[in-house]
Chains A and B, each alone.
Chain A
Amino acid sequence: DAGVTQSPTHLIKTRGQQVTLRCSPKSGHDTVSWYQQALGQGPQFIFQYYEEEERQRGNFPDRFSGHQFPNYSSELNVNALLLGDSALYLCASSRDMMGTDTQYFGPGTRLTVL
């Protein structure tokens, strides 16, 4: 079992650009959540996808959007990048939406916006 995988590992963009991050969930998992972790803080919830729909969203602007594919993999898109978007982006997968099942995290994508 490969676990949760994310790509790319690192990414450097400039302000105003757009970025797409990718996540493949753990085998057997159908729910994918995305988190942003800024330096010195805990991960902050961006949104969660289930059955190819966004089911829950945190306090993030519409510049942050996502998609889930039929094979449960997911993408996080960020438009009009700001310097403050520089962070580690984590993907987590789980088997249910109820919050009691363990969420398994990937290694993250480090995004730097210059």
Chain B
Amino acid sequence: ILNVEQSPQSLHVQEGDSTNFTCSFPSSNFYALHWYRWETAKSPEALFVMTLNGDEKKKGRISATLNTKEGYSYLYIKGSQPEDSATYLCAPGGSARQLTFGSGTQLTVLP
């Protein structure tokens, strides 16, 4: 069972601020890392799947980086908007082909 840690647990930012949060995971037996955004009363929405050390992915104002050697990934949001308010979950998948989710970072963007 992987030990996945996400920090911070929750975050409040002002509209227009840029922000970032961290996902830490064991670097051994790494296969892929998934990032999801989960808005209240909706289904978790896939953001990125990352596999290679040094990978960088971007989707609009959201981007992510991956360091498999040290076991962490950063998610960045540039110019946060109220609609970015959600819980952001990371899930490394090891060779066991199952995802282990962290507890998430709950982001609130204040207008």
Contacts and interface: CB of A to CB of B under 8 A. Distances in A.
Q: Do A and B come from one complex?
A: yes
Interface in A36-78: 40-45, 48, 55-56, 58-59
B: interface residue count bin: 20 to 34
Contact of B98 (A40, A41, A58): A58
Contacts, number: 64
Given A40-B103, A42-B103, A103 B46 contact: yes
Contact of A48 (B4, B51, B98): B98
A: interface residue count bin: 20 to 34
A22 to B, nearest CB: 16
A99 B103 contact: no
B43 A56 contact: no
A48 B97 contact: yes
B101 A100 contact: no
